[in-house]
Amino acid sequence: MPTPWPVVSAEVAAARSAGRPVVALESTLVAHGLPWPHNRETALEAEAAVRAAGATPATVAVWHGVPTVGLSEEQIVELARSPGVMKASRRDLGVAVGLGRSAATTVSATMALAHAAGVRVFATGGIGGAHPEDEPFDISADLTELARTPVLVVCAGAKSILHLPRTLEILETLGVPVLGYRTDEFPAFTVASSSLPVPCRVDSAAEAARVFSAHVRLGGRGAVLAQPCPPQVAIPAAEFQTWLERARREAAAAATTGPRLTPFLLARLAELSGGRTLTANQALVVANARLAAEVAVQLDAA
């Protein structure tokens, strides 16, 4: 008889069975988003933040061909250190499973597997979106997954390298609510502010839970809860733009496009900023994990 998919860890299964809140965490951060040992440290700190706020963490990946919700610490460390781990969006899950590969899951793939395991809240760094007009046409699968999968994604907005106005417009067209957590502006990942308004502001985890519950009851699917990067580590927009323009020129000179572009830009931004974007990325991931757990607790209490 085939093994049920996804495979859920004993800890996560026990939490779901007992009606305790669970928060999904993505694994692309571990395998591709941060260098060693920052990737391991951040992943474990995010899990600890979820537990401290009263929920059970469930880091998601495809583990040697098996979709898994709830990696062990040993699995997280192996994923963090192993070269050649596949990066899987929603499209790539079948490839990873069919070929028996280990794959780190992006926002879209993590949402799909979390929903299959009955998990309603997911914490990440920044969602994908629309790339600028002067780059090859690229719209992240994260946006379409939000339109079809009823999972609340807690994030620091969309990655600062993207075209944020177009990203927000696509989310509106797809019927995806964007909630600003204690902010009237859409967060821009590691950057202090995008100066773009959010359509809805919430000021507590309870408010976020009520809005998401109402959205799903009315036939909606996914939603975004966007929390600004912690102010003590957020990058001023002008500084970031200077680094980004240089990184884009270098990417163009190296003919770096497609799935390789975002990791290249993020790595160069970390170098050009003297590690400041890396520090901000780590801090916002942990803060988002904490907030996601607080919202998951409120959802389960409703």
8 Å CB contact between 29 and 189? no
Cα-trace Rg, the chain = 18
Find the catalytic residue in 47, 87, 159, 294: 159
Of residues 154, 140, 119, the one with CA closest to residue 259: 140
Q: How far apart are CA 114 and CA 56, in angstroms?
A: 13
Residues 262, 281: Cα–Cα separation, whole Å = 14
87 is catalytic: no
Whether residue 271 lies in the annotated active site: no
CB burial of 73-93 (b: ≥16 within 10 Å; e: otherwise) equals eebbbbbbeeeebbbbbbebb
Do the Cβ atoms of 186 and 232 come closer than 8 Å? no
Dump the DSSP string for 202-218: E-SHHHHHHHHHHHHHT
Query: Which residues on neighbouring strands pair with residue 235, listed in sequence order?
Result: 191
- Quick one: angle between helices 261-272 and 237-253, nearest 10? 130
Could you tell me which of 186, 223, 231 has the C-alpha nearest to residue 207? 223
- Cα separation, 67 vs 241, whole angstroms: 38
Nearest to 164 by CA among 200, 197, 123: 197
164: number of Cβ within 10 Å: 23
Give the containing element (helix H, strand E) for 226. Answer: strand 223-226
Among the listed residues 11, 26, 47, 172, the single catalytic one is 26
Which residues are known catalytic residues? 26, 159
